[in-house]
Amino acid sequence: MIKNNMTIKIGGEAGMGVESGGSGLTKALSRGGLYVFALQDYMSRIRGGHNFFQIRVSTQEIFTFVDDVHLLIAFTKECIERHKHEVVKGGAIVFDESLGVDPASLKEQGVKACPIPLSKIATEIGGHRVMANTCALGATAGITGYDFERIKDIIESNFRKKGDEVIQKNLAVAKAGYDYAHDKYAKDFEFKLEPVDTDPAKRRMVLHGNQGLALGAIAGGCKFISAYPMTPGTSVFETITAKAGKYGIVSKQTEDELAAILFAIGAGHAGVRAMTTTSGGGFSLMVEALGLASITETPVVICEVQRGGPSTGLPTRTEQPDLDFVISASQGETPRIVLAPGTIEECFECGWRAHNLAEKYQCPVIILSDLYLSSQLRCIDRNRFDITGIKINRGQLLTKEQLDRITDYKRHLFTENGISPRAIPGHKNAVFMTTSDEHTEYGYAVEDIEPRNKMMEKRMKKYETMLHEDIRGPKLYGDEKAEITFVGWGSTCGAIREVVDRLRKKGTKANFLQFVDLWPFPADKTQSYLEKAKYLVAVENNFTGQLAGLIRKCTGIKVDAKILKYSGRPFSPEEIIANLSATKTTAPARRKGGDPLFGGKKEAKIHV
């Protein structure tokens, strides 16, 4: 018997309750004191198509999914055909007996076939087949031996607003599914789940990356958010909007993305901590206004949650294609900061830190996430979100007392560090103008050579100050001296961490350089790590290896190999390990030469 170490996958069409059932099971397992990591995969349609929800369970903290599946809950034949090869020997597939699947075909590959009358139970006991997912939730607990009280707890909390009758029907359906699976299949299923701590006071939070970003922004004093809904950035907006009344936040859904960023810039100009959220396509429409925020030196935070492109691309799939874009977006050269969290905890930190940086440097700060990070669910200890350590830094924002003493206010005053004293409009001594044209210290439009040069140099001087005072170098995970050094950013973090752990257990020294602060690039804080690396491997969810290119541009060091994936799906640890050996046989370590995509020398580049 193997306890509390397994992966459960639930699959079916949109509209069958795949997401709601998976979310409910995730919470039920968490409330039993277990660590969970959930991966959601869904198509860009309201009904139909194939969706799945995959839950990894452990007694140890986990940061990624894995390929092996121990229990598959299939609502359709298509789900069985798509995923049966992922089920390990000794694993099981639970499916509605009305699907007419031949159990013998599954037994041939060492998989236990577990037909259950899910729809029949839902109809006869609950009154409607829509409760088949509730029956499956109970059956999952039954076959794994998990405490039904945890399932009962989730059903009661999830359906509280629908009244006692709905709760009781769902409980009856879930219990019938539990009893059927437990009595008929549990004895021969070796993978079991068991609560380890059910004390409500010790419950961990279960949340996704966009919720982490939203909560971090609220903790950091965000008081205004505007957005035009766009997958997968919308849930940042939804989370803050849901809490807007409690925390005194103004939430505005605009007519388009350009309006969204302009609203946020207007709020920032008025002295409010403001943000907007979108994805790559929406950010494309915001670009002109991004330049406006830069030249007027207005603080604004933009959450750009990436998906596969170009154009509409893959609306509900993950990718990391926009790093180069956000670094250089907008005509002209303008300062901005780019942060890319890799965990939900880092999403929370970036949520409040971005507002501090935006106000200190009076420029746009872009938080670059992606669909995988935005929707993955993890079980997190409450102390990871300690708000007592958060300090609000409003930078060179002048107080009323300071403004009372000013007789000649210059909004864009030339300073040594490039940061001018900032006043909120409304004080009689700080009546000023600013414009999208190049301007003088007073904000008046100008085209003369000397003031243009001085103002340009003033704004770009911020980069030096950022790098010296606030931009962090990469995080090192693993052995200080290693045979293999991985570099990555964003949501690849969890899979790479686990690869490092597995390699180390097998005797290979490995480490991981994770970049959160990506622009301005912390070259001086990175160079020594890269120069010591014996074999440098970039792992990225894009076609060209954009972080690898940024490292080459800023340090002169070329990675030895790239493991790249752009199918719209995230990396598993198994994929990285499988392709790691291929990189070593494809090409030797080489630190010179151009990018082969543009006519340079051949390199070790593996496309997954």
Predicted TM-score (pTM) above 0.85: yes
Average pLDDT rounded to a whole number, residues 94-110: 89
Alpha-carbon distances of 410 from 45, 272, 292, rounded to whole Å: 53, 20, 19
* pLDDT digits 0-9 by tens, 381-400: 888 888 888 999 999 999 99
Q: Quick one: pLDDT at residue 46? A: 78
- What is the separation, in whole angstroms, between the first and last Cα of the chain? 35
Average of per-residue pLDDT values in the chain = 94
Domains 206-389 and 475-607 are alike in CATH topology: yes
- Contacts with 262 (C-beta within 8 Å, 6 or more apart), sequence order: 289, 292
Q: Do 341 and 349 form a contact (C-beta atoms < 8 A)?
A: yes
Does CATH place domain 475-607 in 3.40.50.300? no
Domain ranges of the chain: 2-202, 206-389, 400-469, 475-607
Whether residue 211 is predicted with pLDDT greater than 90 in this model: the reply is yes
Q: Which CATH superfamily is domain 206-389 in?
A: Thiamin diphosphate (ThDP)-binding fold, Pyr/PP domains (3.40.50.970)
**What pLDDT shows up at residue 432?**
94
Residue-by-residue DSSP string for 115-160: EE-HHHHIIIIISSGGGHHHHHHHHHHHHHT--HHHHHHHHHHHTG
Tens digit of each residue's pLDDT (9 = 90 or more) over 549-604: 999 999 999 999 999 999 999 999 999 999 997 787 654 544 555 555 545 555 66
Mean pLDDT of 88-116: 92
CATH number at 2-202? 3.40.920.10
Q: What is the pLDDT of residue 586?
A: 54
Q: Which residues contact 80 (CB under 8 A, 6 or more apart)?
A: 72, 74, 93, 95, 99, 101, 106
